[in-house]
Amino acid sequence: MSIPLIDLSNLPISNTVVNKIYQACHEIGFMYIQTSVISIEKLEQVFHQSKSFLNLPLAVKQQLEWSDSLSNTGYVGLKRERLNPNQPEDLKEAFNIGNKELIHSSLSSISLDENPIILTFYQNCTDLANILLQGFALALELPEDFFTSRHNEQNHTLRLLHYPPLQTSPLPGQMRAGEHSDYGSLTLLFQDGVGGLEVQTASKEWIAVPSIPGTVVVNIGDLMQRWTNNIFCSTKHRVIIPDDQRINQSRYSVAFFCHPNSDTEVACLESCSQQQPPIYPPILAGEYLINCLKATY
């Protein structure tokens, strides 16, 4: 199975595109999106800002250390996370920029508050996520604003990621990012050309997700899978350690995790319970996210 590429350049979304979105979400939970919402130039500026921060001395970054699941904001050091609880810690570092209320203070902490690039990018990602959420609603024959109205508090997280070159041999089973699924509704991923991202298909085969210039990688998260009673799938993915010269290269990526409002109850949609009864009990979106973060850290 290959990951489909869907053109979202023309709005409003046509019925043909809605059908393609449904098929991608149902069959593999991943897709490449072409969009004019985020330009290549804007993305290059964001990666430059990300590298500038993540290349600061460790002592400086540790002053801004991630401290709690509620804010989910700050610097996450190398090996701090274990996305796969059955394997060693991940070989990556990150800086989390929290929800809308925290974003200004987050950027101020790293002297980016006077630079509109990250703020504008956060809003661009929010706009693109809302377009996709509208597409999801149409694909599921719901009112177009069903999901966007439940995400209007912008409880999202922008994550700047760096996978450093390996100085020593990894432990058995250790990866740059262990096998996991994402926690929220959907994720937007922007990656450089180093590679390493892999997705697990329904047949348990791992396939590569290389960078395609001018596209965004989009994947479904756990809460959307719960909402749709597994009709949309939150797919396992990982970032492997290269077995060639790229092991000596840094890998950078930027992820935007789209989450519902914290007080939103995520329960099986009526239209998604016709083929099988609800698989998951209802849960508050904020409660689910905090529980996942506590398990990860």
The per-residue pLDDT for range 78-126, each reduced to its tens digit, is: 999 999 999 999 999 999 987 655 556 655 665 555 568 888 899 999 9
| Chain mean pLDDT for the chain | 92
Rounded-to-integer distance, Cα 214 and Cα 234, Å: 24
pLDDT for position 126: 96
Which residue range is the domain that position 42 belongs to? 5-65+77-296
CATH number for the domain that contains residue 195: 2.60.120.330
Which has the minimum average pLDDT: 23-37, 59-73, 173-187, 195-209? Answer: 59-73
Domain membership flag for residue 90: yes
Q: How many domains does the chain have?
A: 1
Domain membership flag for residue 288: yes
Contact 36, 156 (CB under 8 A): no
pTM for the full model? 0.94
| Order of all β-strands in the sheet with 30-34 | 5-7, 30-34, 215-220, 186-191, 251-258, 157-163, 93-97, 74-76
Domain membership flag for residue 72: no
Domain membership flag for residue 205: yes
- Residue in 196, 42, 49 with CA at minimum distance from that of residue 125: 42
Domain membership flag for residue 70: no
